[in-house]
Structure 1
Amino acid sequence: MHADTRYHASAPRSVSFGAALAINGAIIAGMIFAAPNIIVLKDPDTVMRPIDIREAPPPPPVDDPKPVEKVQPRTSQPPFLEKPVVDTISETSIRTTTILPDALPTNEKPTDPGPVTVIEPARPAPAPALIGATTDPRYAQDFQPEYPSQEIRAQRDGLVTLRVLIGADGRVKAVEPVSATSDAFFAVTKRQALGKWRFRPATRGGVAEESWKTMTVRFRIEDAR
C-alpha cells in the first residue's frame, strides 16, 4: 500500500486574513453602537481591548448597623415566679347558715310609720297571798298548859314565847324556843303544843300549806290555886 503523499494546496492566506478582518470589523462596529463611550484602539498587532472611560458612580451610602435584637430562648418556666403559699394561723371562724331571712335588704328608704304604740307584755298575775294559821276555837280549852309544881312552890309567874311549825292538817310538827322564864315553863308548854294544840292551817289560794307561827303563853300564880 502506498500512502497518499499527494500535495494539497492550501487556501490562499489572503482569503483567511480578509475573513478575520471582516469578523473583527463587525465586532468593533457592534461595540461602537452599543457603547459610544468606549474607545477601541486599532492595532493589527495587538489584541483590542475595550476601555470604559465613564466616571465611576459614587458608592451608595452605608447605613449604620442596626442593633441586633437578642432573642430569648423559650423555656417551659413561667415569666414570673408565683408567690409562695404560707400557712397562717387565724382565730376568725366563719360559719355558714342555711336559714334565710324573711326579707332581703333593699335600697329603699323606710317610710315613717308614724307614732308607734308600745304594747307591754301582760304581767303575770301575782301569787296569792298567804293567809296565816289561826287557833282552832274548838280546842281553845286545851291551849293553857299545866302549871309546873316547882314554880307553884316558888310562887312565881312565868312567860314563854316560842315558834311552832303548823302542818297542813293543823297539828304542831316542831317547836323552837324564843324566850322563857324558866326551863320548867318551857318544858310544859312544849309538851302541851305537840300534844294538844290544834290550828286552822295557813292557806294560799285556798290550798292549805305548812307555816310557822309565834305563840306566847302566860303563867299566873293566882290561876294555879
Structure 2
Amino acid sequence: MHADTRYHANAPRSVSFGAALAINGAIIAGMIFAAPNIIVLKNPDKIMEPVNVRDMPPPPPIDDPKPVDKIQPRTTPQPVAQKPIVATTSPNDTNTTTHIDETPRVIDKPADPGPTTVIDPPRPVATLIGPTTDPRYAHDFQPEYPAQEMRAQRDGLVTLRVLIGTDGRVKSVEQVSATSDAFFAVTKRQALGKWRFRPATRGGVAEESWKTMTVRFRIEDAR
C-alpha cells in the first residue's frame, strides 16, 4: 500500500514543473519577437555621433579667496615722562667758533742741544770680603792670665774691636766690654803685638777693616 501511495503522489509534481517551464518559455519568446516593433526612433534620419568627454569645455575659473586683514590687538602707548631740563653754570668761559684758518700753522723746531755725551752706567761696587784669623799665628791668640786675677781665682771675658791693616796687623784697639781692666790690658797688648789676620779685600784688593773679637779667660785652663 505504501508503494502505491508514493507513486501516485509523484505524478502531479512532474506535470506541474513541466507546465511552468512551458509558460516561461512562451513569455520570453514573445518578448524577443515583439521587441523590434516596440523601439521607435524619434529622428531616424539623423546619425548619432559619439561625444568625446575629454573635449568638454573647462569649468569657469574660481576666484582666489580674498585676504582677510589680520586684526591687530589694540595697545595703549606707555606714558613717557619728559626729561627735565636743568640749567647749569660752568666756570669755563672758552668760546667756540666754526671758522677754520686755512693757513697752516708753523711749529717751531727745538733748539739744537749740541753734541750728545754718552755717560757710562755706574759699575757695580764689589763686595767687601771681611778679614779672617791667620791660622799660622793661632798659637799666639790667647793672652797671658793676669797675675792678680789668677790669685783671686777669677774668670774673665773681654770683647774688643780691632782695626786690621792691609798687612794683616792690628793697628788700633777699642774696648767693648771687659770683666776687669787687668783682663783688657793683657788682651790689648797681645792684639797689638802678636795677632795676625788675613786682611779684608774688595775686588781682590786689600783694604783696612774693623773686626770684633772676644777673648775668654778660665782659671782651669791657666793651671
TM-score, normalization by structure 2: 0.47
TM-score if structure 1 supplies the norm length? 0.47
Which structure features the higher share of helix residues? Answer: 2
